[in-house]
Structure 1
Amino acid sequence: MTAIVVLGSANMDLVTYVDRVPRLGETVTGRELRMVPGGKGANQAVAAARAGGEVAMIGAVGDDAYGERLRHTLEASGVDTDLLRTAAGPSGTAHVAVDGTGAHTIIVIPGANGTVTHLAPGEESLIAGASALLLQLEIPLNAVLAGALAARRHAVRTVLTPSPAQPLPPELLDAVDLLVPSEDAAATLTGIADARLSAEALLRRVPEVVIRMGAAGSLYAARGREPVTVPAPRVRAVDTTGAGDTFVGALAVALGEGRPMTEALGWASAAAALCVQRPGASTSMPYRSEIGA
């Protein structure tokens, strides 16, 4: 079993399926609306737990019906929610539009996630006992930094998904062991569109980088090593929501089990490929047996 702590967001995803996303000022008719538990933190927790990891979640949900469902979804996937807070007010929501190709746009309203501004009692101890801490950027940056610094104090591997992409303070990057941006996020962070050159720039701040390139696979770069590209399985995407989080959750499990990085990336790519063939985020995440097959 792999001890993984996730510090991050939990949202209810309100997912609309449309032939194409409307332009500014335009109205289009959608095919379907689904309410799916999500949020980058909760997604990574569910993905890691289903991939066989021992996972605990730190974050917050609201005292509303969405909060109850989010907590239940995490627990049903085997995630420890003992330190998942309940905040007064609404849970976070994500308003997702998925087009006919499976690509998506997202608007996130933080809700209870915005109350996670620091580590609460007991949370640093939980992080200290983990093999890895997974972080994203859908909770206030102060809490992300506090988590990363706590992990650094206790020699816990810190994996940061820099999404939604934004400028990152040097002290946060200094505490990150593995940065896992999408190709777009890497370009936002560095101002460089080419993935290999972007990875080279990022290695000046962090020791290891994995750039997720969608159907083109992933690029792994580490200081003092030649970059390696690991291809992704060829599949027909139905909905790419949650694919990146599935990748990161599965990758954390594989690395925690001591697999070599290229093997771990192949495992994570298989998990993400299964995810994109199904609608929704947490509902589409595969179990360990499926990934292995």
Structure 2
Amino acid sequence: MARIQIVARINLDVVVRLDGAVSTGAQLRGRFDKGRLGGGGSNTGVALAYAGHDVALFAHVGEDSGGTAMLAELAGLGIDVSRVRRFAGPTPPVLVLLDPGGERTIIRGCPSVALPPVSPDPLEKPDVLYVKAYGAEVADLLRARMGSCLVVSHAPPAGTADWPAHVMVDSAAHMTAEALADPYRAARVLAGEGLRWMVVTDGSRGATAFGPSGPIRVPAEPATVVDSTGAGDVFTAGLIHGLTGGAPIRDAMSIGTRWAALAVTSPTSVPPASLRDLIA
């Protein structure tokens, strides 16, 4: 299996289960659950670890019991957390508002804690680098890895320039109208000539890969949604798993939609262990 480096968040997700949908002026009742492991690094990394990949996570958590517990949980699932950095103080919670239909609204503290500089050992030779973090140090890492491994990145914030990647992923809900009009062109402006695919996820409508020869669409897998938290991250894990195995982009996206469909049936942020049953 592949050696995969992931530069992304580890979150302490605090879930509030609401009795109605979030809307302007609403007065809702909620049940607060205790904090649970979440974040793009955890959600994607756990899925790839279940698939048997060698996953190393680059992130940070606080020097508190919550941070220690999350690292222990990740290590117990087979993820290398030796490069996760600890900062003084508690791990900031991320509030996840969950409506009765399983759709979530995420609220982060402002300002959020920025990732520290990322500096993997240059002698390491990963097969894949996946990034869902931003900053000059991360951009330098992307440039350094473009010639030696598959580079997959979540699309960076608006206003970012020079963000190299072979595959870029974003949600249609987060894209501007201009980017949605021509996703491949918009992504290539960021990623340069090395870009192979711009993959756009669109919830229950599935996902589309945009490339130089036109769009390739796959439908979403039917699922009973319990908690949609982390579905996009698990889709990306399935996409990476497929691509590292040599699958065409359509087949790799189909793996992603199957994994995401299972993830939303679980009342967790990270995917359930039953994901192993989907691994070919």
Instruction: Answer whether TM exceeds 0.5 for this pair.
Output: yes
- The answer for the alignment partner of 1:130 in structure 2 is 126
Q: Deviations over 1:215-264 (max 9, x none)?
A: 111101112x1211011211121111000001111211221121221111
Q: Which has the higher helix share?
A: 1
Equivalent pairs counted in the alignment come to 276
More moved, 87-96 vs 18-27: 18-27
Q: Which residues of structure 1 form unaligned runs of 5+?
A: none
Q: Deviations over 1:268-293 (max 9, x none)?
A: 1100000011112115465332355x
- The 5 Å alignment of 1:33-112 reads 33-109=33-109
Out of 186, 191, 196, the residue aligned to residue 201 of structure 1 is 186
* Structure 2 residue identity aligned to 1:166: P
> Offset at 1:81?
1.1
CA distance in 1, matches of 2:263, 2:75: 20
Is contact 2:22-2:99 (8 Å) kept?
Answer: no
- The answer for the alignment partner of 1:184 in structure 2 is 173
TM-score, length of structure 2 as denominator length? 0.89
- The answer for the alignment partner of 1:219 in structure 2 is 208
Q: Which runs of 4+ in 1 moved over 6 A?
A: none
2:35 counterpart SS class: strand
1:269 counterpart SS class: helix
TM-score, length of structure 1 as denominator length? 0.85
- The answer for the alignment partner of 1:210 in structure 2 is 199
CA distance in 2, matches of 1:249, 1:43: 8
Is contact 1:117-1:141 (8 Å) kept?
Answer: no
- The answer for the alignment partner of 2:228 in structure 1 is 240
Percent identity (aligned): 26
> Offset at 1:21?
4.1
1:171 counterpart SS class: coil
CA distance in 2, matches of 1:58, 1:111: 21
Q: Which residues of structure 2 form unaligned runs of 5+?
A: none
2:214 counterpart SS class: coil
- The answer for the alignment partner of 2:139 in structure 1 is 145
CA distance in 2, matches of 1:285, 1:159: 24
> Offset at 1:70?
1.4
More moved, 283-292 vs 37-46: 283-292
- The answer for the alignment partner of 1:274 in structure 2 is 262
